[in-house]
Amino acid sequence: MLPHHVIDPAHVRTPLDALGVVSYALVFACVALLAQRRPSYAIAALVAVVPFALYRDVGHTTITLSKVALLGAIVGLALRRADVRCVLDPTARGIALAGLGVIAATALSIVHADFKEPALRETLKACEYLALFATVVVAARADAAQTPVRYAFAASVAVVAVLALAQEFGGAPSGLWYADHAIPRIAGPLEGPNQLAGYLGLALPLVFAYLATRGTALERFAFLAGSAALVLTISRAGVASAALAIAIVAAFSPARTRRTALALGACGAIAGIALLAFWGYAAAHSLAGFDLLGRFSTFAEVEQPGSVGNRSQLWHAAIILWHAHPIFGIGAGNFEFELARAGYPGLRTHANSLYLQSLAEGGVITFTATLALVAVSIASFVRAPREPLIVAALAASIGFAIHQFFDLLVFFPKVGELWWILLALAAAHTDAARHARAPS
Q: What is the pLDDT of residues 23-56, one digit of tens each?
A: 999 999 999 999 999 999 999 999 999 999 888 9
Residue 440 three-state SS = coil
The sign one gets for the Cα dihedral 218, 224, 228, 230 is positive
- pLDDT at residue 63 above 80? yes
- Cα–Cα distance, 284 to 127 (Å, whole number): 49
**HSE-CB of 335 using CA atoms within 13 angstroms:** 30
Mean pLDDT (the chain) is: 91
Q: Residues 396-432: pLDDT tens digits?
A: 999 999 999 999 999 999 999 999 999 999 999 999 9
Kindly report the number of other CB atoms within 10 A of residue 362's CB atom: 32
pLDDT at 60 exceeding the cut of 90:
no
Residue 3 pLDDT exceeds 60: no
Strand, coil or helix: what is 4?
Answer: coil
Q: How far does CA 355 lie from the centroid of its chain?
A: 16
C-alpha of 277 from chain center: 27
pLDDT over 70 for what percent of the chain? Answer: 94
- Assess contact for 207 and 246: CB atoms under 8 A: no
Closest to 366 measured CA to CA, from 18, 3, 104? 104
pLDDT by residue (tens digit) across 186-244? Answer: 999 999 999 999 999 999 999 999 999 888 999 999 999 999 999 999 999 999 999 99
Residues 120, 122: Cα–Cα separation, whole Å: 5
Residue 387 predicted with pLDDT over 70 = yes
Q: What is the distance, to the nearest Å, from the Cα of residue 129 to the centroid of all Cα atoms in its chain?
A: 12
pLDDT at residue number 405: 95
DSSP category for residue 63: E
Report the distance separating Cα 175 and Cα 416, nearest Å: 24
pLDDT at 357 over 50: yes
Q: Is the pLDDT of residue 116 over 90?
A: yes
Handedness of CA 389, 395, 399, 404 (dihedral sign): positive
pLDDT higher for 56 or 98?
98
State the pLDDT at residue 179: 74
